[in-house]
Structures are given as structure tokens and as C-alpha cells.
Amino acid sequence: MTTMDRPDAPPVRTHKENRKWVGQSIRRVEDPKFLRGRGGYIGDMTVPGMLHAAVLRSPHAHARITGIDAAEALAAPGVHAVITGAQAAQLCDPLPDFGPDPAKHTWRCLAVDKVRYVGEGVAVVVADSRYLAEDALALIDVEYEPLPAVVDPERALADGAPLVHDDLGSNCAYERTFDFGDVERDFAEADVIVTDRLRWHRSGGQPLETVGALADFDHATGELTVHTNSLSFTSYLFMVAGTMKIPANKLDIRPVPAGGSFGSKLFATKPAVIAGMCSREVGHPVQYLEDRVDNISNCDHHGSDRVYDVRLAMMRDGTIRGIDIDTVEDYGAYIQFGVGHHGNALAQVVGPYAMTSVRYRVRAAMTNKNQQGAYRGFGSEVNNWMLEQMVDKAARELDLDPVAIRRQNFIREFPHFIPTGNVYDSGDYDGVLDKALELSDYKHWRAEQAKAREEGRCIGIGLITAQERSVFSATEFWFWFDEPGAPVTSMPESVTLKVDATGGITATLYSCAFWGNSPETMVAQLVAEEFDCDPHDVAIVYQGSKNGLPATGPGGSRTTVMLAGAVEGATAKIKAKALRAAAHLLEANPDDMEWVDGGFQVKGVPEQRKSLADIAVMLHLFKHSFPEDMESGLEDSKVFDHPYTTMPSADRKDLGVFYPFMGHACHVPVVEVDLETGSVSFLAYAAVHDCGTLVNPRSLAGHIVGGTAQGIGTALYEEFVYDDDGQLLTSSYLDYLIPSAMEVPELKIGHHETPSPYTLHGIKGGGEGGRMMAPAAINVAVNDALAHLGVRVTELPITPDRLRAAIRAAKSRESG
Amino acid sequence: MDRHDVTLTVNGRTSTVSVEPRKLLVDVLREDLGLTGTHVGCEHGVCGTCTVLRDGESIRSCTTFAVQVDGAEIRTVEGLAKGAELHPLQDEFWDKQGLQCGYCTPGMLMRACEIIEGNPDVTHDQVREGIASNLCRCTGYQFITEAVCAAAARMKADSAETTGAQA
Amino acid sequence: MKPPPFQYAAPTSVAEAVELLGAHADDDARALAGGQSLVPLMNFRLAQPAYLIDLRRIEELTRIRTEGDTLVIGAMVRQSHAEHAPEIAVGAPLLAEALGYVAHPPIRNSGTVGGSIAHADPAAELPAVVLALDAELVLAGLGGTRTVAAADFFTGPFSTAIGSGEILTEVRIPRRAGGHAFVEFARTHGNFALVGVAAVVELDGGTVARASIALSGVAPVPVRATAAEEALTGTVPDDASIRAAVDAAVAGLSPAGDVHGGRETRTDIARSYLRRGIELALSRAGDRR
Ligand SMILES: Cc1cc2nc3c(=O)[nH]c(=O)nc-3n(C[C@H](O)[C@H](O)[C@H](O)COP(=O)(O)OP(=O)(O)OC[C@H]3O[C@@H](n4cnc5c(N)ncnc54)[C@H](O)[C@@H]3O)c2cc1C
Ligand code: FES
Ligand code: FES
């Protein structure tokens, strides 16, 4: 064990009882505009004089660009400009990059000397319409000198592989091994070591709306205004200004509602930079919207793509001692977020199990594919899958019951520090499991399974118990290095509350764009809880970056917890002023007053009372009724910093606390496998989640179902497939298969509430849970269905090809 | 450039626009008629985000040239609500949280509209299969299905009431 | 993803249409039916015809009629209309069943019966159906009309016997006795199938008198499972004879693989779905006895 002195945890809170609004499934305040087709998405925006951009994509996985002739395109009807990669490199600096050593794998908005994946942009056309822009793309003549492509991550790391980045000198962008706890001892003392090799292929968020930006560069002021459906990391938007080579205070990035993100619009700066660069060149506002092929092939947000070699140190009685993980991750051609995905994994690497040591080796391979970014789970969903496959395999090898082995290893005392140093704030894993067993009718399905087996049918039950970390912190991006380039520690979120002269409340959000999550509803419910008003009466404003307070934005299931903290802080300031004002007006002692039902009154004397509206009108309009030092108005802000981050140890044997609010879930899919076709269908699906105190249970349920649907895609259907030459074989929705209503079963959803001791109301984040569980659960279910045949699938997605191959192999083993 | 006059009756209003034959219906709706409620998700017919009704039948407006529907009656999401009053489908989507990001919602609503209008007694399973023509990346379809079923029941009850009142 | 420019005309008669096609043959003129294959291809700029002749205003192509024992379906009959047309339910229930598998209702609301056949996607349902039913395709050109048997119509992936300057006007389907079945395996609902099976089996006192079986998705064109047809005919079908018929058919297959299923998987699925199709057709044939 590390003997790090752990800083104190934040104070344990007592939570308000009898909440009025928090916990209610109110109708979302965002919805009416969307229901009426007035969402105001980026593609819906037009401004006078607006032009349209389209990007020419590379048809090659790896090739040197030896020449570009754009003359004919430039002369085409309606064309205002053609900018090639080489020209763009003069106009803009490289894109913001949090990767290990950006200078060694420089990432730009358009490729310069060579293209590194199919779909990489090589030139952009600006024209009167998107139709004309695409006409002109066809006229650009690019000369390529094809180079051998490297596609498989392990081959990329082998000697002699073609180099994706010559400056890097190899295809390994990062490598390190971490030991947490006494790995050697746990493995030496183990009765059994369970090993496996697992492969998770890449899928992606694929929101139905692509990424887009509308940029307007004003040559008079030197200001660039960009509307975009990508935001987040708002505190880091100065990096975009750097790319654009303009002062940070001349950049305003304004959020518009996003038609889904699932991570894939996180800090998606490329479209904004392309639009901004074009606008500055042509002197008009320019809109650039990815089309679906752009988004599939060039979004910079493919999901995890990992090979695992894992060893699990087990005692014969089922006790899990430690885990040794060796993973190679295929990052594609660039590595904008570094290996943050593995920080996510390390936040909950041991799952709900009380093991004492972890060895974690990670190697990041560069290949000729679109790069990784974020996809709901950000790498921790892959860890959940890996761990649950290992526990499942251990249960089979030791002939233990899959429920019992999990229960036996559950962590039961909180707060609990896992070997990596992260904390699990609270939990009740037995409670969740019990609920799931009941909700899923587990016993019934075990009986059905036995019956079906007699008829030759293969039914499988996939019970998994796994973690759902929430509210990430900045250290995750730099504890990888002994000497990090930018050891930043701030990840705040801000809210301004304004009470107008009529008592109406407006909340201003910074960076928390609408991404399909419900920031408006969450804030409205939280404000209503504080002020005893109707949440539908709370107005919400999204502020652009220029006038914004420090903020980070959605990601890592942080929105609700962080906004709650900010709302609480701003409320406290407003109420303090309102109390003083009310006491003054009532000539009472503030200490004798209390907040009751939307106003301040003298304790026990309801007639001696001022409502918030009474106070607000006085504060706004009757300055001279108050002491000299009281300012007019009733408005205040709170910059709420991450509530629980601690620093990593210098030797990196303890990474500190960086993902403290730990949710948990148990998923129980019941599947049937058609042996003849290798297809998998659902007979039932139950899911119980514990995300702390619920704000809007139906919204959370919606996220669980939606995330599970995406997890079903990851488990069975979705894969960005590159062939051996690096050609992308799934560049349309005919080939990249997103589950429809017929592939997604009805879910039975259960909630369990173990409040966090450290957050307002005990809220934890819960936006990613479904997808963090479903792939693991479905894989376990499929293996459960086929175990008696000796079939075990270790690769996702479980396609007919993969499943049939496994079944055929088992059959030939049997007969051979 | 070769242009054609196309006359469309959209949500009850007839207008004629002069367009290139290649212009997709969805772009005419969004750009020429200012009806941006109909979105595009894939522009190759798979996702259903662009679904509108042509003479009462759902179609993909991203794989339809506007010239192909010259003379047709088109209904879009903008035609569902009557002023302040939401269509029962919209209201039930709101109540059941049948949307998250809202991007698929207009197409989903129009498809649901066709399903319900074609079969007031539509069952839960039929709704699920029916909406499988349209992708939603957010909701996992469960609350959409609930919303459509609830709207169907409500519309049936409403029409029974109206018929009852008339009788 | 926007289509390239083209010239457009929407004639009102077959004569006018073929005249326009002939006149613009040099411009890569093409017929436009429902557009549900052509427009996506144009959006991807994989097809760039310079002239499109929209057949939607030609009344006579939108009719379904019965001539004696033959069902005649106009090329421009929309798939969703055909799916629910009483004449087709009676005259070619196999076609009606297959139509339910073609894409999704909103696509079938525009896509046409003729368009699907003319497009000749190797994975499509309708080409396999017309092949199984020994249908005839009527083509009109400047020189008049000609009729091509389905067996001679499909010449390769996305290519047919339709000559330049010709359009498909009618599909003629002879009425068939017996039980029918259309079954297919697709990875997701409404997507193109990996394998489709169209079968019609006629029983005579428990013995198979005639079997017609066609497969989609396993070859560059839809294929008849002749070996299975022969193996079944004359037998009193049971599990063993069905298995023998399926094995005979599968032995002759060598499907090309793609991202959704390699050669072996497609063969496995063909084996499974042939059996399912034959069993379903037989059970329905039995019901009718
Ligand atoms: C998302 C999606 C999923 C689909 N899934 C399936 C599926 O599962 N199974 C399936 O079979 N199809 C599927 N399709 C294709 C669909 O069925 C099309 O409707 C059909 O293939 C073409 O019919 P159409 O009337 O739309 O023809 P068009 O797209 O208008 O034309 C297709 C081609 O045929 C030619 N053509 C059309 N009519 C004639 C004619 N009368 N004479 C001469 N040439 C003609 C055209 O010139 C063109 O080359 C799918 C389409 C989409 C967008
Ligand atoms: S945008 Fe039309 S179907 Fe996807
Ligand atoms: S609500 Fe986001 S795609 Fe359906």
C-alpha cells in the first residue's frame, strides 16, 4: 500500500429532507421549442451574407501530398475561396491538443504534407451554397503519392512499421506502467491466476446532428464570433484563439443547442477553426457543417479501440486479490486528449470489488485511422467490460456462482480509497444487486434457461455489477507524467442568478450548452428547490465565452453536480442580501428571521413577512429605503470549483482523488443466441442504477435507456471498420449500424439512492451509465448462453461473423 | 442554370418556388420556405430525421428532389401545433420525455402521426416496429413508444367524444 | 452531401419518356422512379446522370391489373401500395410478403416496384421474388416493347437487360398455386439483408409437385436454388429431405463476403434460411390442401 498522507475529505453534509422539486419527474423546460421544430440548431442559423464551406477528404489512408491544383475549383460558379492545407498552415496554428507531446504529432485543421487517414481534410471550398461548394470540391486536383498504411495497433508498435508521424520516431505516443498496491505479493499469494486476451473495437457517439460552426470575423474590430454546437472546456477556449492567431479577448464562442453529442462534440474545435479561417479569408460569415461522411470519417471522436492482456489474481474461495492489465490502445492518427481515457479507467479500475493491487500498463499506438476523442464512458466503459469478463471467467474457472463471486468481493465501507488513490464516496452494492435480482426475475430466467437448453435453445443471462464514476477533475489529464507540461487543477462551473424587480428568476449558464442532457431543467429544479418557485417559471440563458465566468461544461457526468454547487453558492449570496433587505424593511433582527415558502419572515410570525418579489422590487427600484452600502438589484454569481480533488503523489503510486462521486449499477440482460446465424436477440433487460439522489428520475431513466441502446450498438452492431489498407468500410449508416427500435428491448429500470456525502442533496452524475454497463452485460450474457458449448466470445462487437466463427471453432474442436 | 417552378402546399399554405431540379425537398423546406424544423441526419435515407408527410404518407425529404413532389401536400412538424396548443403527440412526447436532444423529434413526430392516423387502435408492438424506420440516438425509443401510445389513446378518446357529442 | 446538377423532365407518357431518353442518351440520361436508390447515390455523388426523366406522371405505369392468370404491375406502383394491394395479396402473396422487408415504410412510400427491379441490387428482395415466380419484365424503347424473362433479366450487380433508351414498364407475374414464403436475415431491422429466400412449393397429395426457390445476397445476381428445387420435387417432405435439399443448394453457393458477413457466415445463414423458407412454404402449402 502507498503510505501517502491523504488530505482531508470535504465536510460531510446533511441533506435537506422533504424536497419539493428535486426528485420530481417534471416535464423538461427545454422541450417545447424542440417539439415545435424551433430548436435553433447550428444548421438552422442563417445570417445575411452567409457562405457555405465544404471540405475535400482524403481517399487515402496514408499518402504524401505532392501537389494540389485548385484553379478550376476557384473559377467554378459561386466559389469565393479555396484554401489548401498548406495555405491553412500559414493562416492558423495547430489545433488545441492535450496529447503527450503535440509537437511530435502536430494536428492541424487540414493536412499539410501528408494525409494520415481516409477522410482527413486536404482543402476547403467556400461558396454561395453547399451544393456549389461540393461541385467545386470535385474540381480540385490533388496529387498523392500513396504510402503503406498501418492499421493494426499491435503491428504499429512492432519494428519496421510505417511511421504515421516521422517526428515521433515510432508509432508509440505514450507508454508507462503503474503499480498501485503490492502487486507482486497479491500475485505470488494467489491460488489461481485467471488470464485472458480481450479486444474492443472502435465505435463512436454518432449523434444524429453532425458538428458545425457559423463563424463571423469582423475585420473592423478583429473579433471572431463563432456559433457552434461544440463547447465545453470553456476555460480552455483561449487555445482556439491561439490557433486562430488572435487575442483571446477577441474570440467569442457561443453555444447553440446540440442534436446530441455523447462526448463526440467535446471540444470539437476543428469545424470552428475551419469556419473561422474561411470567414477571415473571404470577409463573410461562413457556415461549415460536417455531413455524415465527414462525421463518420473525420470527426476526431472515435471511441476506444483496445487490446487487453489481463491477469486476475484469485483465491480459490473467490476472493479477488489484484489485477494486472496490459493494454494497447489504437488512438488513430492523432492523440488530442492524450491517454485521458485510461485515467477514466483508473478512476474505477477495480470496479465494486475490494481488491488491493493494480498493475496498469498502457501503450498508445498511432495508426492510419481517424483519431479518438470522447464517447460516453470515455474509456471507463471499456474497463468495466474487461473487468466483468475477467470476473465472469474467474467464476467459471473456479466453479463459483456469478452472483456470489461478485457479492463476496463487494466494497462495503465508505468512503473507500481504491489502490489507485481515487475515492468511492458512498455506495450500497448489495442493495443494488438485490433490487436487480428481483426486478430482472433472475431465478425465473435461470429456470427458463435450463428448460430452453433441453430444447436446444441457447438463452443467456448476463448479470454484471459495475461502477459509474462522475464529476471528473483536471488532474486526470496530467498525472501520467512525472513532469507534466500543464499541471492545471481548475475545472469549475459557474452560474449567475438574477432576481428581477417582479421576483422572476433568470439563471445564466456558462459553457453548459444543451447537448441532449437537461441543464435547463436541472437548474430550474434546483433553483425552484432553493426559492420555492415553479421550475417552469425559471428563465435560463446560455452565455457565450467572451462574457463568461470560468466554466468547464458537460463531460464526465459532471453537469448536474457542478451546476448544483454553483446554484447553491449563488443562492446563498442572494438570500444573504435578501435577508438583510427584508430585515431592514421589517425592522427585525436578521437572526430572528427564516426563509419560509418563498420569502423571509420573522420566526413564528407569518404576518411579519416579505416575499422574494417584495424584496426584489424594493432592491431594484427603491435604493433610498436601504442603508447606503446596499447596492441596487438582486443578482449574484458563483464560480463553483471541483468539490473534491486531491493531488497525485510525486511517485505516481497514488493518483489522488479525481473522480470522487461513484455511482454503481447492475444490468441483467437476458439474450437468446441463434446458433445458425450468430445473431443475438433480447428476451428481457433489467437495469438498476444508483446515482445518488435523483433530481429528475424520468430524465435519468431516459439516459439509462438511451445509454443502454448505445451499449447494445457497441456490443452487437457498431464498428468503424478499416480494412488492411486503411480504407474505411463503414462510411454510411447502411454499414455503420445504429440500433433501431427493433434492436433495443424494453428496459425495466430500477433506481437506488445512496446520497453522496459531499454534494448538494447528495447528487452524483449519471449521464453515461447505460453505455458503461450494457456492453459488459451483453457479452457476459452471450457467453452464458454458449458456455455449455465451450464458446466464449472475447471481442466486441459480437457480429454474426465473429459469433459464427467462434461456434464453428468450438464445433470443430469437439469433433476434432 | 435550369430551374423549375415547384408548387407545394405546406401545412396548408400553398407557395411556388423556383428551384434547381437537384435541390432536395428538405433544403427547399429549410432554405426556401424557412421551415427549419425538418432536420437532416444522414442525407442518405437511413436515419429518418428528415421525415415529412407527402399527401399523408411519410417520406424521406433528403432523398426526394423537390421537383418530384410538385403539386403535393406536405406536412411538417411546424404544422402540428395549433397556435399555443400542442398536438397530442407533442404533448405526450413532452410528458413522457420522448426526447432528449430533440434532433430526431420532428421526423419521429411526423412518422408517429402517420402511424396513428392510419390506425387509431395501434398497439404498443406496432408502434415500436413502426418507429423503427427512424433512428433516435438519445432515448433508446422506450419513452417515444410510450408517448405515441398515449397520444393514440388520447386522440381516440377525443374523437369518440367529438362523435359522441355530435350524435 | 448534395447531388450534382442535372436536367429534368417529367413526361406524361411512355412514348414521350423513351423519346427523351433516346434524345439524351449521350448525356447519361436515366429514368427516375421513386428515387430511393438513385437519390442517395447522387447525394454521395456516386451517380452523376446529366438528365433525369421522372416517370411519376405516367398514369399507365401506376396501375395494377389482372389479365387472366397473370398479375400485371406497373413499374411505377409504389412499394407500399403494392404491399397492401388486394390484387397482389391474392395474385402474388410472395411479393406482398417480400415487400414488407424492403427498407422501411417511409422509403416504400416513395420507392417503386419497377425501380427496385431495375436497380438490381444483389441484396434486394424483389429481384429474387420475380425470379422465383418466373415473372416477365416488359421493356419499352423507341423501337417498341419487348418482354424478358426474369431468368434472363439480371445480368450482374446493378445491371439488367434494360437497354439504353429503354424503360421497364410492367412486371407480369403468373399466378402460382401452393404455399409461399419470403424469409430473410438482416443485421438490423429494415436494412439490406445478408440473405433472402423466396420460395413457392406446390404439394400434390403430400408429395412436392413443384418447387421454386430463389436466393438473394449470395451471388452477384439473385439465383434460383435449382438443386434444392430438384431435390424436393417428387419427395414427401420430411426433415431429412429438406436437409438434403438445403445441402444440395448450399453446395453450389460461393457468396462474396462484405463487412456484414464473410463468405462462410453468409453460407451458414443461407443454409439456415433456406430451411426456414422451405419449411414455412411447405406448412402453408399444407394448410391450403
Ligand atoms: C435506407 C434504405 C434502405 C433500403 N433498404 C432496402 C432493402 O432492404 N431492400 C431493397 O430491395 N431495397 C432497399 N432500398 C432501396 C429501395 O427499395 C428503392 O426504392 C429501390 O431499390 C429503387 O426504387 P425506386 O423506385 O426508388 O428507384 P430509383 O431510385 O428512382 O431508381 C433506381 C435505379 O433504377 C432505374 N429505374 C427506376 N425505374 C426504372 C424504370 N421503370 N425503367 C428503367 N430504369 C428504371 C433508375 O434509373 C435508377 O438507376 C433501400 C433504400 C434506402 C434509402
Ligand atoms: S436525413 Fe433523411 S433519412 Fe437521414
Ligand atoms: S432525441 Fe436526440 S436523436 Fe432522438
| List of chains touching A (3+ CB pairs within 8 A) | B, C
Name the 3-class secondary structure at A271: helix
Tell me which residues have their CB closer than 6 angstroms to ligand 3.
Answer: A 208, 260, 516; B 99-105, 136-139
Strands B73-75 and B4-10, bridge-based pairing = parallel
Residue of minimum CA distance from atom 3 in ligand 2: B45
Q: Taking Cα atoms as reference points, which of A229, A330, A364 lies closest to residue A288?
A: A229
Residue A118 to residues A56, A62, B136, C30: CA-CA distances in angstroms?
11, 8, 27, 31
Question: Does residue C193 or residue A511 have the better pLDDT?
Answer: C193
Q: What is the pLDDT of residues B14-31, one digit of tens each?
A: 999 999 999 999 999 999
Cell of A336: 488530442
Phi-psi region of C158 (alpha: psi -120 to 50; beta: other; left: phi over 0): left
Query: Is B65 an interface residue toward A (CB < 8 Å)?
Result: no
Cell numbers representing residue A717 in the block: 452492431
Q: According to the model, what pLDDT value does residue B165 have?
A: 62
Peptide bond into A415 cis (omega under 30): yes
List ligand 2's pocket residues with C-beta within 6 A: B 40-43, 45-50, 60, 62
Answer whether residue A244 shows pLDDT above 50. Answer: yes
Residue numbers in chain B where pLDDT is lower than 50: none
Domain identity same for B45 and B107? no
Residues B47 and B97 in one domain: no
Mean model confidence pLDDT for chain A:
96
Pocket of ligand 1 (CB under 6 A): B 45-46, 63; C 30-38, 40, 55, 75, 102-103, 107, 111-112, 114-116, 118-119, 121, 124-126, 162, 167-168, 192
At A620-632, the pLDDT tens digits run 999 999 999 999 9
The arithmetic mean of pLDDT across residues A118-147, rounded, is 98
Q: Where in chain C is the domain with CATH 3.30.43.10?
A: 7-54
Given B97, B128, B135, which is nearest A208 (Cβ)? B135
Q: Which of C190, C218, C185 is nearest to A676 (CA)?
A: C185
pLDDT for position B1: 60
Work out the percent of chain A whose per-residue pLDDT is above 90.
92
Domains of chain A by start residue, with CATH:
31-38+492-640 (3.30.365.10), 42-147+210-257+267-298 (3.90.1170.50), 306-475+649-815 (3.30.365.10)
- Nearest CB among B90, B93, B103 relative to A208 is that of B103
pLDDT digits (tens, 9 = 90+) for A732-745: 999 999 999 999 99
**Interatomic CA distance for residues A702 and B35, integer angstroms:** 29
DSSP states along C181-212: EEEEEESSTTSPEEEEEEEEEEEETTEEEEEE
**Listed residue (C36, B40, B63, B101) closest to A295, CA to CA:** B40
The residues, any chain, with a CB within 8 Å of residue A117's CB and separated by 6 or more, are: A58, A61, A62, A297, A298, A332, A333, A368, A369, A370, A371, A726
Query: At a CB cut-off of 8 Å and minimum separation 6, what does A92 contact?
Result: A108, A109, A243, A244, A245, A273, A277
What does the pLDDT look like over A749-787, one tens digit per residue? 999 999 999 999 999 998 888 999 999 999 999 999 999
Query: What is the average pLDDT across A56-77?
Result: 98
For residues A626 and A577, is the Cβ–Cβ distance under 8 A?
Answer: no
The CATH label, of 3.40.50.300, 3.40.50.1820, 3.30.390.50, 3.40.640.10, for the domain at C179-285 is: 3.30.390.50
Could you list the residue range(s) of the whole structural domain that residue B105 is in? Answer: 88-163
Predicted local distance difference test score (pLDDT) of residue A236: 83
Evaluated on CA atoms C117, C122, C124, C127, the torsion sign reads positive
User: What ligand has the least distance to the C-alpha of B26?
Assistant: 2
Residue among A135, A292, A735 whose CB faces C1 most closely: A292
Minimum-distance CB partner of A706 among B44, B46, B100: B100
User: What is the CATH T-level fold of the domain C7-54, as seen in this structure?
Assistant: 3.30.43
d(CA A486, CA A98) in angstroms, rounded, equals 9
User: Do strands A192-200 and C29-32 pair parallel, antiparallel, or not at all (unpaired)?
Assistant: unpaired
pLDDT surpasses 70 at C282: yes
Q: For residues A181 and A110, what is the distance between their CA atoms, to the nearest angstrom? A: 45
Chain mean pLDDT for chain C:
96
* Per-residue pLDDT, A511: 73
Q: Which residues of C touch A679 (CB under 8 A)?
A: 185, 187
Instruction: Label each residue of A501-520 as H, E or C.
Output: CCCCEEEEEECCCCCCCCHH
Beta-carbon contacts of residue A812 (< 8 Å; ≥ 6 apart): none
Whether residue B102 is found in the same domain as residue B127: yes
**Looking at residue B4, what is its pLDDT?**
97
Residues 6+ apart with CB under 8 A from B1: B20, C5
Same-domain pairing of B66 and B99: no
Q: Which stretches of chain C sit within 8 Å of chain A by CB?
A: 1-5, 44-45, 185, 187-192, 194, 258-262, 264-265, 268-269, 271-273
CA dihedral angle for residue C19, residue C25, residue C26, residue C32, rounded to 10 degrees:
110
Which atom, in ligand 2's list, is nearest to the CA of B42?
4
Judge if B106 and B65 occupy the same domain.
no
Per-residue pLDDT tens for C7-20?
999 999 999 999 99
**pLDDT 10s digits, B27-46:** 999 999 999 999 999 999 99
- Mean pLDDT across the stretch A145-159? 98
Tell me the CB-side half-sphere exposure of residue A749, using CA atoms within 13 A: 24
CATH topology classification for C62-174: 3.30.465
Chain pair B-C, CB pairs under 8 angstroms: 91
For residue C49 the three cell numbers come to 446522370
Q: Has residue A273 got a pLDDT over 90?
A: yes
What integer pLDDT is reported at residue A3 of this predicted model?
A: 47
**In chain A, what is the straight-line distance between the N-terminal and C-terminal CA atoms, in Å?**
49
**Per-range mean pLDDT, top range of A6-15, A69-78, A466-475:** A69-78
Cβ distance C262 to A717 less than 8 Å, yes or no, reads no
Q: Which atom of ligand 2 sits closest to the CA of residue B47?
A: 4
- A91-111 pLDDT tens trace: 999 999 999 999 999 999 999
Give CA–CA dist B50/B58, Å, rounded.
10
Q: Which residue has the higher pLDDT, A550 or C273?
A: C273
In chain C, where does the domain assigned CATH 3.30.390.50 lie? 179-285
pLDDT at site C289: 42
- State the virtual CA torsion across A793, A799, A801, A806 in degrees, nearest 10: 10
Instruction: From B79, B99, B119, give the residue that closes a domain.
Output: B79
Query: Quick one: B65 and B21 in the same domain?
Result: yes
Cell numbers representing residue A577 in the block: 442580501
Q: Rounded to the nearest 5 degrees, what angle is found at the Cα of C232, between the Cα atoms of C227 and C234?
A: 125
Residue recorded with cell 420522448: B98
Residues B93 and B75 in one domain: no
Q: What is the pLDDT of residue A739?
A: 98
pLDDT at C25: 83
| Distance from Cα B107 to the centre of ligand 2, integer Å | 9
ipTM: 0.97
Residue A399 above 60 pLDDT?
yes
Of A435-439, A449-453, B145-149, B162-166, the one with minimum mean pLDDT is: B162-166
Contact A781, A711 (CB under 8 A): no
Residue B119 and residue B59 share a domain: no
Q: For the whole model, what pTM was predicted?
A: 0.97
- At A363-375, the pLDDT tens digits run 999 999 999 999 9
Gap between the Cα atoms of A129 and A133, Å rounded: 6
Which one of B79, B103, B119 terminates a domain? B79
Check whether residue B41 and residue B17 sit in a common domain: yes
Taking only the tens place, the pLDDT of each residue in C106-131 is 999 999 999 999 999 999 999 999 99
**Which residue of chain B is at minimal alpha-carbon distance from A295?**
B42
Percentage of chain C surpassing pLDDT 90? 97
CB A703 within 8 A of CB A767: yes
CB contact under 8 A, A741 and B131: yes
Say which CATH number the domain at B71 has: 3.10.20.30
Residue B28's nearest CA partner among B12, B58, B51, B6 is B6
For residue B14, how many other CB atoms are within 10 A of its CB? Answer: 10
Q: Which of B79, B107, B126 is the last residue of a domain?
A: B79
Stretch(es) of chain C classified as CATH 3.30.465.10: 62-174
Tell whether B145 and B101 lie within a shared domain.
yes
Do A733 and B46 make contact, defined as CB atoms within 8 angstroms? yes
Residue A240's alpha-carbon distances to A102, A231, A243, A545, C132, in angstroms, are 15, 11, 5, 12, 61
Q: pLDDT tens, A162-190?
A: 999 999 999 999 999 999 999 999 999 99
| Ligand 1 atom nearest to CA at A734 | 1
Pocket test for ligand 3, best of B49, B139, B148 (most atoms within 8 A of CB): B139
Nearest-by-Cβ selection for B58 from C39, C106, C190: C106
Q: Which of A361, A308, A350 is CA-nearest to residue A195? A: A308
Question: Do B92 and B134 have their domain in common?
Answer: yes
Rounded Cα–Cα distance for residues B87 and A576 (Å): 44
Q: Are strands A251-255 and A223-228 parallel, antiparallel or unpaired?
A: parallel
Between strands B57-60 and C144-149, the pairing is unpaired
> For residue B38, which residues of chain A lie inside 8 Å, CB to CB?
37
- Residue A405 main-chain phi, psi, to 5 deg: -65, -35
The answer on pLDDT for A546 being more than 90 is: no
CA distance A140 to chain B (A): 22
Tell me the nearest-neighbour CA distance from A37 into chain C, angstroms: 20
Q: How much is the average pLDDT of A525-529? A: 97
- 3-state DSSP assignment of residue A360: strand
If one counts the domains in chain B, the total is: 2
Contact (CB, 8 A) for B38 and B10: no
The per-residue DSSP string of A714-754 comes to: IIII----B-TT--BS--STTTS----TTTSPPPEEEEE--
Q: Dihedrals φ, ψ of A150, to 5°?
A: -120, 125
| pLDDT of C27 above 80 | no
Is the CB of B65 inside 8 Å of chain C's CB atoms? yes
